[in-house]
Amino acid sequence: MIARHLPDLKAAALVLPLVAFLAVFFLWPLASIFTTAVSDTEVSRAFPELGRAIDGWDGQAPTPAMQQALVADIRTTPQATMGDAVRRLNSQTSGFRSLFGRTQQAVARGTGPVDLVALDGRWADPLYWNTIRSALPPYTPRFLLSALDLQQGAEGIEVAGQSVHVQIFLRTLGISALVTGLCALIGVPFAMLMLATTGWVRNVLMASVLLPMWTSVLVRCTAWLIILQNDGVLSRILQTLGGLREAVPLLFTRSGVIIAMTHVMLPFMILSIYSVLIAMPKNLMPAAASMGANPIAAFRTVLLPLALPGIVSGGLLVFMTSLGFYILPALLGGGNDQLISSFVAEYAIRQANWPLASALGLILLIVTVVIFALYQRLSTRMAGA
Amino acid sequence: MGAIKTVWGILCVLFLMGPLIVVLPIAFNAGGFVSFPIQGWSLRWFAVLFGDPGWRLSIWNSLIVGLASSALATMLGTLAALGLRGRVGVPVVLARMVFLLPMATPAVVLGVGMQLIYARLGLGSTYAGLIIGHAVLSIPFTLLSVTAALASVDRGVERAAASLGAPPPTVLWLVTLPMALPGIVTGFVFAFANSLDEVVLTIFLAGPNQRTLARQMFLQLRDNLSPAIAAAAFTFIIATICIGITGLWLQHRRKRMMA
């Protein structure tokens, strides 16, 4: 029995270290992004007693038990925790800050029970209690909603006042799609050219694909920074070609970012298409020509359909990678050319707004993983075929 | 038709290679500007790069983190590739997909997540934390490379060794691993190159003492552009070419060995 399963056990023992390592240092971080994006303990941390007492309340008049639980919470919760909770509650129902300030002072004067309604008539109003109750659950969709510019309104989900994040998501998708398209547009003819050449010409073409791909992205950013400068090489070439008087601004513009992103991603597209074309029988194009197809018809009906899997898998790879770009737009783009990653980093590092950073990151992650799964399926099917 | 093809090819090669070529002469610019025309030739920016304590520390950090994380990733990747070798089925496919996922995960997302758990584990701003982070990103490279190498190892040779009385550990140590060695080394080299280039995760995980060369370059590129950057870029490009040639040579050797 044991002997039959021995190979399985051995395999499992070999794979186990990597599984354990990735579980702790890869899957746990991703899981904690998820929990940070949906967890909301600001209020529940401040009101542990009230959280228990408010259970089963009918939503009408506040019960005495709830009132005394609130008093107990005000006495035991640290000032900073309570401050965060009150700020949050005040953002939902204005007036909370003054109500709490007054109540805290009165509660601090004694140690016994306090009649809250007598202290301030507002405590008789179920509105304030309902606000606390609605903020008590430890999980909330509001960060995810706010990452999509939505908010929880009185009548379900509604569109928040200003559109910030959706615009950035659309910009990220648009720029990535454009870069993918440009890569395909340059990549297909280039891969065909590589296929048509032999000897040292093909080696030169191959080297000019591989060398940039192996070169650090930072080095390529440095190079593009030099080329795109206002007095830089490209600006001057464009000026001469176009017969323009003024220098063409390229650095810190959308065009500059797209040119440099295309340069970074192009080698992946070319290699993906080339690897499909090189596996194709050599005599297909001559065969098409001998049957009377002109070069364009042969390209359209023979080569392009055969190259399509390579274009699609290369496109998915380019698109997926482009979605996560951070360094390049940060160095070469202006304020309006930043992609979603910049906002994740901004919320996390500068503002320490971890829930919102996590929510935005989670959406980016989900989109990326779906594309990656498609890419994997396609490439394993291509390898199997 | 032929002329169009030639022009197209030259334009593409210019687009691909031009940026790398443009950066090279700036590294030797005697002037203080990162632009053309060159004001005279000098090695002063290399002296800055290798002499300035900040740059020197970052070079050392890159080497330490790069070597340690590549060693870790290669070890874990090789073991797992041996375990998954020749296996099929849904769990294996799923496992392989998860192992490759770090390659697809946006670095910023992983950075946020790792910082969240490092705050709890106390690994923030430590060498260990940074090395682990880089290893996570490098594991797909080592796993893919070793898996490919193992796939081309002839099972017949291993069976022959076993039939001659070699116990499994001996077969592994004296037959399988030496035959897969080029793939293992290639994986290590890719992992090292990947770590050398990594910026985003480093921004999230490293403290001021763990500033790597790539991180230092990123800050300088953003804040004050000096030809020392071009000197660093020059060093990077030369290192890349050396690594690339080593990689091609290893592949060539592997092919010759298989033939």
* Cβ <8 Å between B115 and A373: no
How much is the average pLDDT of B25-52? 79
Query: Considering only A216-220, A232-236, B112-116, B170-174, which range has the smallest mean pLDDT?
Result: A232-236
B-chain residues near A267 (CB < 8 A): 16
Distance (Å) from the C-alpha of residue A240 to the closest C-alpha of chain B?
17
Encode chain B in three state secondary structure. CHHHHHHHHHHHHHHHHHHHHHHHHHCCECCCCCCCCCCCECCHHHHHHHHCHHHHHHHHHHHHHHHHHHHHHHHHHHHHHHHHCCCCCHHHHHHHHHHHHHHHCCHHHHHHHHHHHHHHHCCCCCHHHHHHHHHHHHHHHHHHHHHHHHHCCCHHHHHHHHHCCCCHHHHHHHHHHHHHHHHHHHHHHHHHHHHHHCCHHHHHHCCHHHCCHHHHHHHHHHHCCCHHHHHHHHHHHHHHHHHHHHHHHHHHHHHHHHC
In this prediction, residue B111 carries a pLDDT of 94
The reply to whether B102 touches chain A by the CB within 8 Å rule is yes
List the single best residue of B33, B97, B109 to mutate versus A (max A Cβ within 10 A): B109
Residue type, A380: T
ipTM score assigned to the predicted complex: 0.88
A15 touches B at CB < 8 Å: yes
Q: Which residues of B touch A354 (CB under 8 A)?
A: 112, 116
Q: Say what percent of chain B tops pLDDT 90.
A: 35
* pLDDT at A116 (0 to 100): 85
pLDDT in single tens digits along all 385 residues of chain A: 455 666 778 888 888 999 999 999 999 999 999 999 988 888 888 888 888 888 888 888 888 888 888 888 888 888 888 888 888 888 888 888 888 888 888 888 878 888 888 888 888 888 888 888 888 888 888 888 888 888 877 777 778 777 789 999 999 999 999 999 999 999 999 998 998 888 889 888 998 998 888 888 888 998 998 888 877 777 777 777 877 777 778 888 899 999 999 999 999 999 999 998 888 887 777 788 888 888 788 888 888 888 888 999 999 999 999 999 999 999 999 888 999 999 999 999 888 889 999 999 999 999 999 999 888 888 777 665 5
Looking at the predicted structure, is the pLDDT value of residue B259 above 60?
no
Q: Give Cα B121 to chain centroid, integer Å.
A: 27
Nearest-CA distance A108 → chain B (Å)? 34
Residue B161 neighbours by CB under 8 Å, 6+ apart: B170, B171, B174, B175
Nearest to B117 among A28, A205, A349 (CB): A28
Q: How close A23 comes to chain B (CA, Å)?
A: 10
CB contact under 8 A, A331 and B221: yes
Please give, rounded to a whole number of angstroms, the shortest distance from the CA of A169 to a CA of chain B: 14
Q: Is the pLDDT of residue B112 over 90?
A: yes
pLDDT of residue A384: 58
CB contact under 8 A, B243 and A214: yes
CB-CB neighbours of B210 under 10 Å: 21
Measure in Å the smallest separation between the Cα of A256 and chain B Cα atoms.
13
- Asked if pLDDT for residue B90 goes beyond 90, the answer is no
* Most B CBs within 10 Å, among A222, A275, A339, A362, to test the B interface: A222
Query: CB distance from A20 to chain B under 8 Å?
Result: no
Q: What is the mean pLDDT of residues B191-195?
A: 90
Which pLDDT does position A106 carry in this prediction? 85
3 state SS of A151: strand
Chain A residues closer than 8 Å to B102 by CB? 22, 26
Nearest-CA residue of chain B relative to A12? Answer: B83
What tokens were used for A259? 């040119």
The yes/no answer on whether domain B54-224 falls in CATH 1.10.3720.10 is yes
CATH number for the domain whose boundaries are A166-384: 1.10.3720.10
Residue contact A365–B193, C-beta within 8 A? no
Could you tell me the pLDDT band of residue B1, with boundaries at 50, 70 and 90? low
Identify the residue among B14, B49, B72, B116 best suited for mutation to test binding to A, counting A beta carbons within 10 A and taking the highest.
Answer: B116
- Residue A234 has which token pair? 């490209």
pLDDT: which is higher, A306 or B224 = A306
Residue A48 Cα distances to A45, A75, A135, A376, angstroms: 6, 12, 12, 47
What is the value of pTM for the model shown? Answer: 0.87
Contacts of the segment A351-357: beta carbons below 8 A, 24+ positions apart: A354/A36, A354/B112, A354/B116, A355/A36, A355/A37, A355/A39, A355/A40, A355/A143, A356/A143, A356/A146, A356/A147, A357/B112
Between residues 64 and 83 of chain A, which touch chain B (CB distance below 8 Å)?
A: none
Measured between beta carbons, the chain A residues lying within 8 angstroms of B110 are 26, 29-30
The residue extents of the domains of chain A are 42-138, 166-384
B19: chain A residues, CB-CB within 8 Å: 212, 220, 223-224, 227, 263
Chain B residues close to A380, C-beta within 8 Å: 93
Q: Using pLDDT thresholds of 50, 70 and 90, give the confidence band for residue B38.
A: confident
Alpha carbons B13 and B6: distance in angstroms, whole number: 11
Task: Look at A340-344, B170-174, B234-238 and tell me which has the smallest mean pLDDT.
Answer: B234-238
Whether A133 and chain B come into contact, CB under 8 Å, resolves to no
Give which of A334, A331, A229, A256 is closest to B33, Cα–Cα.
Answer: A229
- Dist. CA A82–CA A88, nearest whole Å: 10
Structure letter (DSSP) for residue A139: B
Query: Which pLDDT value is given to residue B205?
Result: 92
A370 in contact with B at a CB cutoff of 8 Å?
no
Smallest Cβ distance to B19: which of A27, A224, A369? A224
Q: Which residues between 176 and 205 in chain A have a beta carbon less than 8 angstroms from any beta carbon of chain B?
A: 186, 189-190, 193, 196-197, 204-205
Nearest CA in chain A to B238: A215
CA distance B257 to chain A (A): 23
